[in-house]
Structure 1
Amino acid sequence: MKDGSQTQQETDTQIVNILHPKEVCRVGCWNVRTLYQTGKLAQVLKEMDRYDIQMLGICETRRTGNGTRKLATGHQILYLGRSDEQHSSDVGLILNRKLGKCMLGWNPYNDRLLSTRFHSKFAKLTVIVCYSPTEDKEEEKNSFYEELQRAVEETPVHDVLIIRGDLNAKIGTNNEGKESIMGKHGCDVINNNGSRLVDFCLENKLLEAPSSSTKTSINKHGLHQMVTHKIKLTMYRLIKGGELEVKNRFTILKDEQELSIEQFNTALVEAGKKTLGLKKKKKEELISSKTWEMVELRCKTKKKILTAKSARL
């Protein structure tokens, strides 16, 4: 982490894995409008427990200063606000007890952006929480995306990267030429913030998560709703030499004018046999487990007879 970040010792971290192939982590994001009201934080924690959310990015907390705080419920909150004592914008991150032990450190960039890094045995996880300016604030948007780009570039290359937040963006439903980063389930017609977000994702090869909108969605009453996703680490076994072997097999056949389906299948089968080998059949046991139990019982019975004390004749 860079200057201003909290270190592993400061956050009292214990080595616990956040990403695991056999476990699912539920993460969320919510524009809470404010935490600068009595009882509002308790309401947010109750919703986290209700939806079984382990990590919740929050926007518009309207707190001042920055720091971490352990709550009586076992949750840990990271908050980042303005330094001029104005209660506006601001972002934060709430972790449950387990994920609080996974945290390696966090970096507050500004009142709209923070980055947090978590430990995992297979791959470290970096989570960026952000809150984009609205459509009419052009200069602030330029500064925001510059800082967001810096946060992405400072993320270690091999980390799993998740960006959560209210980006005030509508990306639309037209994904022509953008199939690698988005589907066709966007919201309304694309706006300026949406165009910036799409360009940002294309530049950094990021995938926009499928949801009703790229921001915390707003219902018909104008209230911000929580957006949640499940994440799980998927492991793939890499077999070295397989691709090269298949290429070599087809190189032998390149002089053929037409490649028949039989030649194609034969090349794949031969490459598979050489690279993966043949599956070995498991030898059947000649003596069943029931027979072994009877043998064991016989041995015990014989031992009792040999050790028994008999009366003298």
Structure 2
Amino acid sequence: MIPTMQPADDYGPPPDSLTTNSDRPRTRFLKTNCEIKLGFWNIRTMVQLSKTEQVVNEMDNYGLDILALSEVRWTGAGSQTLKKGSTILHSGTEKKKEAGVAIMLSKSASRALTKWTPINERIIVARFTGRQAKLTVVACYAPTNEADDTTKDNFYNTLQAVAKDIPSHDLVCFVGDFNAKVGSDKSYCPEVLGSQGLGEINENGILLVDFALTNDLIIGGTQFQHKTIHKYSWNSPDGRTHIQIDHILINKEWKSSLQDVRAYRGADVASDHALMIAKLSLKLKAKKNPKQKRNLPTTLKSSQTQQFVIGSTYSLQTGLRAWP
């Protein structure tokens, strides 16, 4: 089991809403027919205060409930209440300002938060409890495709341990910059991929697809038809290369709850990555009881029921006698 780390002392204890274990929070969060906007964005850095304010403003502009951030470059682990009532949870290295992940929450998402776990500078986990479901969001920042095999293996081994620790009934979303091109060839792994991917799969893409297949997940950005400009998430400095490396993975049993995934290029915080937004709307399936017996209509009177049974028995007996 992955231990839950406490926020850093520099930031003090988290607000009460971040530690509650209430099964029925006072919020419409995670309720059927209520849309949830889950964003994920590599912002390159958020060391400067002005950059943090920019991100908060963009979150508010796009009406996001949850925003997973990568390459935050904050040290340590902790939580802060920001302007406009949003809250940020973050996880980074102890001293070096490199990598770093965070999850920014709206007021309603903050009230629904029941647990969060800073794993390391590349993974942070948050769990939310709503009226009709529980949601676990895992914000990720994977090593680049050029990283050595040991670094990649360490990342995916840790991510697999996190996945194993998540309750099986949760709606689960792994989101962030995976530095993975999964390609446009759905036939490579139709259990995981849709037909709307871009380019050719790379080594990181193979690792991501294998992880998704192992954990019964689909890669959401490959499922929805959009213009190419709304699919790719990274632009090269010269503007000539566009690739799709930021992804959302969701468990298959909740696939129908994922309504859309696309890039929003209007959001600007001086990053070469686009803001990606996934729209979720809970779709719950009614459970049927196979042992439930079908009762006769209550409108039948007892005398009518007796006549029905006697008549049916007589017809059956008559039919048997007439059979040669």
| Normalised-by-shorter TM-score class | 0.7 to 0.9
Question: Is 1:45 the counterpart of 2:56 in the alignment?
Answer: yes
The 5 Å alignment of 1:1-313 reads 2-5=3-6, 9=16, 11-13=18-20, 15-17=25-27, 18-83=29-94, 85-137=95-147, 138-176=149-187, 178-210=189-221, 217-219=233-235, 221=239, 223-241=272-290
Structure 2: which 5+ runs fail to align? 8-13, 223-227, 242-271, 300-324
Q: Tell me how large the CA RMSD over aligned residues is.
A: 2.7
Q: May I ask how many residue pairs the two structures share in their alignment?
A: 248
Q: What SS does the corresponding residue of 1:45 show, helix, strand or coil?
A: helix
Instruction: Specify the code of the residue in structure 2 equivalent to 1:135.
Output: N
Structure 1: which 5+ runs fail to align? 246-273, 281-313
Instruction: Specify the code of the residue in structure 1 equivalent to 2:100.
Output: D
Q: What SS does the corresponding residue of 1:106 show, helix, strand or coil?
A: strand
Query: How much has 1:19 moved relative to structure 2?
Result: 1.0
Does the CA contact (< 8 Å) of 1:112 and 1:132 recur in 2? yes
> Which has a greater percent of strand?
2
Q: What SS does the corresponding residue of 1:207 show, helix, strand or coil?
A: strand
Note closer, same or farther for the CA distance 1:185–1:277 as it changes in structure 2 (3 Å cut): farther
Instruction: Specify the code of the residue in structure 2 equivalent to 1:230.
Output: K
For residues 85 and 133 of structure 2, what CA distance do their matches in structure 1 show? Answer: 25
TM-score of the pair, normalised by structure 1: 0.73
Fraction of identical pairs, as percent:
31
TM-score of the pair, normalised by structure 2: 0.70
Q: Deviations over 1:252-298 (max 9, x none)?
A: xxxxxxxxxxxxxxxxxxxxxx85988x9xxxxxxxxxxxxxxxxxx
Does the CA contact (< 8 Å) of 1:115 and 1:128 recur in 2? yes
Larger Rg: 1
Query: How much has 1:9 moved relative to structure 2?
Result: 4.9
Note closer, same or farther for the CA distance 1:146–1:276 as it changes in structure 2 (3 Å cut): farther
Q: Deviations over 1:100-137 (max 9, x none)?
A: 11100111111100111111122211110010000121
For residues 158 and 118 of structure 1, what CA distance do their matches in structure 2 show? Answer: 13
